[in-house]
Every structure is written in C-alpha cells, then in structure tokens.
Structure 1
C-alpha cells in the first residue's frame, strides 16, 4: 500500500478541485431533483463510449418497474470501493456529483493523482439505485418499501441487486450517499449541516473494529476537506445501530461504510454548491484511500464533529414580530419558516418548487436560521392576494392569524395612522 511520502504529487487543494468541478459538471443535466433514470443512463453510456478502456458498464438488476440498475466500474487496483447513491428517490445530490467526478477522471486521467488512484483502487458505483422513486421524487420504491430498511428481508429487487454486487466484489470500504432534511443544524451552532458524515455502526454497542476505525478516519478527511470550503457546516450523523439498514449491515458484512448526508446550504437554490461539496469530498476521500493518507488521519477529527441537531434550523426566522391571535388580540413571538422542495408536472415538463411552511411559533431563540429578520415594530399576517406588493398601503380591520403548518405566504406590515392602516414592508413567499 502506498504511503503519503511515496505519492508523486498531492491531490489539488479543495479550492482548486472546487474550481475544476465547474468544467467537469455536465450542463446537459437538469438540477439534481429533476434528474431521471434516462438522464443517468444516457450519461453513463456516453462515458463508456468516450473511454471504453477506462469504464466498464453493466446492468446488475432492474427496478420494480423494469428500469435498469447500472454498475459503473473503473480502475485496476486490487482494493475495491463501492459507492451507491439515491437509494431514496428524493435524495439526488450525490448522483450528479458521481457523474461529474467520473467525467473529471475521464478528462484528467493523466494527472498523477488520478492515475495513482486508478492504479491503487477499483471503483464501483451504482449512481441511481432507486430509479422508480426518483421518477416520483419520493423516498420509497414502487412497492412502497424503503430500500434502506430492506438489507435483511431483501424484498425489493433494488436491495437484492446492491447486496449481490457487494457479495461479488467484497469491497474493503463503501460510500452510502444520501440527502437529509434542511432543518438539520450542526449541533447548537445554528449553522446548516451542509454535509454530515457517519462511520456506520455494526452492532448495538457501537463497537469499533479495524474497518469501522478506517471509516471514521475517512470521515475525518472529509470533514477537513469540506470545512475548507464551508467552515462550520459539517455535522456528525446519529450512529445508533439500525439492524435493517444497508450501511450498518455493509459494515457488519465486512464493507465498512461511510455515510454522507447532504443537507441545507446558506442560500437558495442550493444545488450547485452542494454538488460541488460532494465532488470535492469524494475526490479527496478516494485519494486518501489510494495513498494511505486515510490510515494516517486523526480519528479525533471525526469524534469531535458536532452531532446533527435534526430540528435546529429553519430557513427564515422572524424575530420579535407582532402577530394577531384569537379575536384579533396582538402578541409578540418568533416565527420559524422551513423550506422543502416538490417536483410537479406542468404542461408535460417537470417543475421544481420551493415550498415554505410556518413550522415554529413562540420563543425560538435556540434555533439557527439561514436568514434572520428583526421584526420589532412589524406585524406578520397571511398574504392578502398575489397582487399585493411591497410599499402598498392596506386597510385591515381584522388582520388574519398566522398559524402553524400554513404556507409561508406572508406580509410584514408596519402600522400607520389611523388605526388599521399598514404599509407592506416585505412580501414573504417561496415558489419557483
């Protein structure tokens, strides 16, 4: 196994890799939530056609609805690495990142660090494990089963394909690539957990063995890489043992698994920066495995990552804003607005929407937020029609109440004279 001192050239810095991603990223692919099986299939076949001596492509199974499950492999090394993405159909970021990484390898294969990686490792990837779920932008497959809870029962063809591939390859490490909800924060810092990592446990005691220790060290490498681009935005995923899950069972079967969960970013839309982070994280982690640098990583850098706070973040936080309660009685509170995304069809085309909802009301001083608005002296009320715009003056005798769960289509109003007169200071709406 090569050591860091034997490497002929270090991998480029995270910043240089991030810039290189811009050229490797396919402009033909839609944003990740709109990528479908046909897009991935076309991209993989194009890679194979452009570099048949580099890429091998096979079908390892079919989804419930008959879509091919593709396995792409490259490299000649004796140590095999398995990467799988989008076993949940609505968790698409890493699928695009993998395709971009393979394109980068194709066009940079003569670079010393890339050639070294290809000589030390053989990479195997299933970029889209749940194409039926992706078609619907839903977590589960067409049977309604969560593939990531089917590692033992193996009632889904997708799970059987992944298990069969692992058993055939016997990879020495695996990368389990997911997305997590946008409310995940890094501990109590109020920062978004843009990337969370986990060395998956293999028993209830969360024991360590050489494989899991290696996975922790790879996570440490990823932490340091991502924090060079997104300081304070790396969290540690809950390592409770889940007896049905693939990551935990992969580790138990002898393929220690590194979980990467992609979360929220500091602005909307988040896709490009998050795909870029995944690209850089995967490139650096694979180089660290190829050179032996991963084995030298400080495991304390993993253990000290703040744990995810699964409800510690909202997108927009209105602080100390006036609200109208039952009977129109005013009071002061904080309003927390969370944002998710939905895919719908419009005129035969797929459309991606941002959907905001009021998810928190009250004293929210412990929550982090992508954006905070100081609302002292303002009132928040539901939006009074799409024609209303900032700067309008409204007469509201009985202002409506802001309620939990309602769409985040709101107005921030400044009271004027006479009573019941307000000026629209801001329109809050998330769509498109």
Structure 2
C-alpha cells in the first residue's frame, strides 16, 4: 500500500504547512544534493522578484519526461512538502524494484516552490502583487517566465499543476468536503480533446480510483472552463497536457498530515501508472463521472436551529454557519499558523455541507465577551446590544442554555476561531 510507504518516509518534525518557507526548501534541496547526488540533480532555474532561488529538481533516466510544480500561489503549501516526501521515498528506496521501475521509465522534473516570496507572506500573489497563474501570456513575473522557459526547454509529455483550493469547496450534491479535486484542463475555448488531454483525463481517473477508498465521496472535478491567461490551460496549448490537483478542506485537526498523505498517494500512483501502462488503459468513464466542485458549498461549522439576535428585532430561530481555513497571523512578532474563521451564513442553511454540525435546539448564540467564561459556567445573558450576531463577524461565540435559576444561562460551548 502506498499509504504504508508514506508512513515510513513522511516528515515528522515539521512546522505547520503554512509556515514552510523558502529556507526550509533550501535545506531539503541541500540534503538531496548531499545524500543522494547519484539520484537527484538540482539547478537554479530562475529567481523570484526578491531574489530567492527557484529550484529545479529532477530524478530518473527514462525517455518520458514529466514536470511538476507547486505553490505558484504562495498560500497553497500542501504539495510542496508532499513533493519532498516523494523525493525521500525515491532517495531511501532507490534500489527497490518499484522505485527502479520509476527511475528507468521516467525523468521526473519538479519546481517545489514557484512563489517563495508569496510563501514568505502567506499570500496568493507574488511580491509584485501579480497572480502568477494568470501571467502565462504577459509573462510579467520572473516566476512565470521561469516556468515557461523550463517547459519550453524540457518539452515534457505531461505536467502536474499542484494547488490548494478554498476550504468552502464542496462536492456537488453530496455537500461533502472536496478534499481533492482533479482536472485535465482544456487547451482551447471549445474544450476539445486531443491525445494529450485524453491521457491527462486518464491519469486523473487513475488518481481518483486510488484515492476513493480513503476519501469516499470527497473527490471533486474542477471546472474545465478555458482560462485564457492561466498556465495550466496554456501549457496544454503549448503542447504539454496537464493534470491539476487541488487540495481542499479536511474535517479534523490533523489536516496537514492527512492532506499530504493524499497528495503522496496521488503522485506515486500517477507516476507508476505512466510507467506500467495503467494510465493509457484507464477508463475515461472514471474521470467523466467525478462530480463537479460546488464553490462556497461547504462551511467549517454549522449550528442548527439556535436562537439568534440579529441587528434589529427579537431573537429568532436560525442556522449559523462559520467558514474557516488555515491562515498565518503575527503573534509577538512571530508568524504562527492558525485556523481563521468568521460568520459566513445566517438563516436556513440546509443547502450547505459542514465539516461539523451542532444541534442548536434550545441554545442561544451570542458573541464572546472580552473576558470569556469557561464551558460549564453560569452567566447572565449579555445586554441586547452585545448579543448581535451578523455575517462577517469574527467566529468568537458562545452557546448558552437557560439555567434553572431565573436570568442565568449555562455556557454549553465556546466557539473560537482566529480573526
């Protein structure tokens, strides 16, 4: 099982994924150079706006070249670490027949962190403020020019474009979290097929079949509307079909590890399928039947049927939905990884999925006071002006239940996400 392999090569001593910076990538690249110079080759393919090296790492001696790139959006870090865990697998098990088959059949190229300046700031755009993934035609970013030049030089037969997606993304109709979404991007407005795009669809099908047992119902298909400015679409137009892997929401606190594991399984499965022929033999129906993503269809937490005070009027019964996702904040001058959230929806939320649902019957939702109580405490209901709950408000709330003593309420639960 590929998951068993990941358990033996996964990185244990890691900062949370949002805090993986260029310095960490540099250290991992140095390790490859020092410990496995017979397996890995490394070059500096270019530099970011602020002068950080854009590393091109490759292994294998096979005739079929593939190119993987990660973190062209600086706040989308999952696949960067997963790529280095893939490298660790290749380094550690280089003599195993399974790895030897990869080394003999493929030459695998990777740019593990295409936007290190954005990663430093945990922001989507680069230091110029440009979305690199919308710079395929203008090529105003040095990072975009580097990726274009590398593709033109290597002429890879397949590319892998590795991203994270909005944590509000659900799988159509099921409303489950879209933990992984796949796409073989279109290369023209007509969204037609050619042999390259058919191969990309089949690779997506192989990945879908490998991941479905681990995350049943949590695999979506990204929209294939042609984006004239985007790299994935244009790289296909330039002659290299691509597979888009978007990593999405996860319901438990161990989301960093769980999502890295899914990426590792997806990448190893895809590379092996290109070597052993399973990609070409895959059933296109397995790709076509992937349900579409539903944008903004998921919430981190929904409190169902609670009493809520709006900005005017008396309390009313409503569902309250919190949207939250990993973020980076400054605390005492240092960057820390947090789960940041706000109230995103209020009213009848039956059409939304949720990572967690709380039965709010008999409960009243109010904002946390400046000095919040503990769960189990008994408190008076705050004055009406301090009870208002509205969309866009920080997700710092308490759920109260009327206590036997008149005018007092028991704190049933505290809900606290970072601002």
1:397 offset after TM fit, Å?
Answer: 5.7
1:266 offset after TM fit, Å?
Answer: 1.7
Q: 2:89 aligns with which of 96, 100, 104?
A: 104
State the match for 2:393 in structure 1: 406
Contact 1:101/1:283 (<8 A) preserved: yes
Query: Structure 2 matches for 1:89-168, cutoff 5 A?
Result: 89-168=74-153
Q: Which moved more, 1:332-341 or 1:21-30?
A: 21-30
Separation in 1 of the partners of 2:142 and 2:4?
A: 39
CA gap 1:43/1:348 in 2 versus in 1, 3 angstroms: farther
Aligned to 2:351, the other structure's residue is in SS state coil
CA gap 1:408/1:131 in 2 versus in 1, 3 angstroms: same
State the match for 1:8 in structure 2: none
Separation in 2 of the partners of 1:125 and 1:397?
A: 56
Q: Deviations over 1:357-376 (max 9, x none)?
A: 10000100011101101111
State the match for 2:177 in structure 1: 192
Separation in 1 of the partners of 2:58 and 2:284?
A: 30
Q: 2:359 aligns with which of 341, 359, 374?
A: 374
Moved over 4 A (4+): none
Aligned to 2:32, the other structure's residue is in SS state helix
1:44 offset after TM fit, Å?
Answer: 1.0
Q: Deviations over 1:105-129 (max 9, x none)?
A: 1111122121111101100000000
Separation in 2 of the partners of 1:249 and 1:386?
A: 54
Q: Which moved more, 1:255-264 or 1:388-397?
A: 388-397
Separation in 2 of the partners of 1:332 and 1:344?
A: 34
Separation in 2 of the partners of 1:327 and 1:223?
A: 48
State the match for 2:155 in structure 1: 170
Aligned to 1:99, the other structure's residue is in SS state helix
Separation in 2 of the partners of 1:109 and 1:397?
A: 64
Is 1:52 equivalent to 2:37 in the alignment?
A: yes
Structure 1 stretches lacking a partner, 5+ long: 1-15
Separation in 1 of the partners of 2:403 and 2:309?
A: 16
1:418 offset after TM fit, Å?
Answer: 5.5
Contact 1:188/1:312 (<8 A) preserved: no
Separation in 1 of the partners of 2:382 and 2:353?
A: 34
Separation in 2 of the partners of 1:327 and 1:27?
A: 51
1:420 offset after TM fit, Å?
Answer: 3.4
Q: Which moved more, 1:151-160 or 1:377-386?
A: 377-386
1:416 offset after TM fit, Å?
Answer: 3.1
Separation in 2 of the partners of 1:91 and 1:175?
A: 15
Aligned to 1:211, the other structure's residue is in SS state helix
Contact 1:328/1:398 (<8 A) preserved: no
Structure 2 stretches lacking a partner, 5+ long: none
Query: Structure 2 matches for 1:2-81, cutoff 5 A?
Result: 16-81=1-66
State the match for 1:221 in structure 2: 206
1:48 offset after TM fit, Å?
Answer: 1.7
Give the RMSD, CA atoms, in angstroms.
1.4
TM-score by length of 1: 0.94
Aligned to 2:58, the other structure's residue is in SS state strand
Is 1:323 equivalent to 2:275 in the alignment?
A: no
Contact 2:311/2:389 (<8 A) preserved: no
Q: Would you say how many aligned residue pairs link Structure 1 and Structure 2?
A: 417
1:293 offset after TM fit, Å?
Answer: 0.7
1:226 offset after TM fit, Å?
Answer: 1.1
Contact 2:311/2:390 (<8 A) preserved: no
Aligned to 1:381, the other structure's residue is in SS state strand
Contact 1:356/1:407 (<8 A) preserved: yes
Q: Deviations over 1:315-343 (max 9, x none)?
A: 10111111123455010010110112221
Separation in 2 of the partners of 1:403 and 1:165?
A: 49
Separation in 2 of the partners of 1:73 and 1:403?
A: 51
Separation in 2 of the partners of 1:397 and 1:73?
A: 61
Aligned to 1:268, the other structure's residue is in SS state coil
